[in-house]
């Protein structure tokens, strides 16, 4: 019974992290699409809110991935502690697990690029902008180029997140 309680808690946390991993890029994508209607011209107050929102989500994304990884390791370890062996997975479940891990690794790679390369440069550029003052064309062009790159990476991250959700459904196959 203790094994089932621990498994249920780990699975619940794992599912919450899975949903968070998919929700963050989905909502960020919608925000970016709405902002795109205003074109690649700086609207200081709007862009400030967009940047604070998108960059403020970074800790949540990192947290969701951390919970996903920890519970993903914890679930099979829980079984091992109580039974002295790992669950034997059906071939389809093993394939789904491998593809799910590829999705998670892809998401982590994208997040590292965005959080440690693109976002710091966007923050730096944005500090050089001010309300009511037109930005230099070079800085504005770089700013929107980086935003376009981040948007493209977030689109890929969204597809990885959807894949992780789909492959998770096949982990119980044959069991």
Query: How many percent of the chain have pLDDT more than 70?
Result: 99
Expressed in angstroms, the distance from the first to the final Cα of the chain is 19
Mean pLDDT of 91-118: 94
Mean pLDDT of the chain: 92
Residues 175, 87 contacting (CB under 8 angstroms): yes
Name the pTM for this structure.
0.87
Mean pLDDT over 117-143 rounds to 95
7 pLDDT more than 90: yes
Q: What is the pLDDT of residues 68-103, one digit of tens each?
A: 999 999 999 999 999 998 888 899 999 999 999 999
**C-beta contacts of 89-93 below 8 A and 24+ residues apart:** 89/171, 89/174, 89/175, 90/173, 90/174, 90/175, 92/170, 92/173, 92/174, 93/170, 93/171, 93/172, 93/173, 93/174, 93/175
Two tokens, residue 80: 């091992």
CA–CA separation, 69 vs 63, rounded Å? 10
Percent of the chain with pLDDT over 90: 77
């Amino acid at each position: 019974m203790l094994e089932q309680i621990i498994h249920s808690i780990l699975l619940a946390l794992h599912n919450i992290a899975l949903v968070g991993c998919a929700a963050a890029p989905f909502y960020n994508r919608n925000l970016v699409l709405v902002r795109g209607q205003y074109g690649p011209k700086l609207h200081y107050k709007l862009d400030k809110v967009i940047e604070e929102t998108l960059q403020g989500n970074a800790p949540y994304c990192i947290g969701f991935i951390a919970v996903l990884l920890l519970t993903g390791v914890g679930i099979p370890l829980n079984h091992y502690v109580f039974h002295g062996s790992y669950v034997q997975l059906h071939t389809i479940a093993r394939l789904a697990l491998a593809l799910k891990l590829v999705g998670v690794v892809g998401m982590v790679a994208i997040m590292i690029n965005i959080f440690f390369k693109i976002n710091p440069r966007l923050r730096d550029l944005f500090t050089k902008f001010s309300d009511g003052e037109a930005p230099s064309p070079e800085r504005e062009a770089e700013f929107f180029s980086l935003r376009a790159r981040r948007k493209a990476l977030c689109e890929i991250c969204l597809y990885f997140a959807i894949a992780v959700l789909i492959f998770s459904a096949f982990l119980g196959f044959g069991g």
